[in-house]
Amino acid sequence: MAYKVRKVKMLQKRVRDAAGVLAAEMQPFGEKAIDLEVVLGYPTEAGWAVVKALPANSRQVMALKNSGFADVPANQGGYLVVEGANKPGIAADIGAKIAAAGVSLSLFSAGAVGNQFSALIGFNSGDDATKAEKALTAKDTKPMRKKGK
């Protein structure tokens, strides 16, 4: 299956973990009509959380940085956005191709709207994201199959 694959840079901000924090962090962007591609929020250690955002352009990067967001360092993670025609088995195919490259995932989130899917995939490093990108865009790549199937 052919995929459109983009290596992307996420920005992140460490925040206190409390009700309403995500809404408070995102409100200024809505007021400025800044439409971020992806927003993730999750707890880390007791009392703390991380908000990550995927900006679509340099204006959004600047707005995030002006609000205290910083680039996710390459040694802390790399990210790909993978898009294409939605079909049954897409997640298995993507996962098999990445596994065949010897790369582990730190995040996989995918969804479909109509006949198109989009996935945000996280890795433990920028180097792992590069390896996965090559695996997903290789012309002769076949998905890994279990023996006997």
For residues 12-21, average pLDDT: 94
* Confidence (pTM): 0.84
- pLDDT tens per residue across span 54-78: 999 999 999 999 999 999 887 788 9
**Rounded (10°) angle between helices 126-137 and 90-100:** 120
pLDDT at residue 74 in the model: 74
Pairwise CA distance, residues 123 & 134, whole Å: 14
Average pLDDT along the chain: 90
The b-or-e profile of 1-40 (16+ CB within 10 A means b, else e) is eebebeebebbbbebebeeeebeebbeebeeeebebebeb
Residue 140 has pLDDT above 90, yes or no: no
Residue 40 has pLDDT above 80, yes or no: yes
Amino acid at 49: A
Domains belonging to the chain, first-starting first, are 9-71 (3.30.70.260), 75-137 (3.30.70.260)
pLDDT at residue 145 in the model: 53
Sign of the Cα pseudo-torsion (122, 126, 130, 131, in order): negative
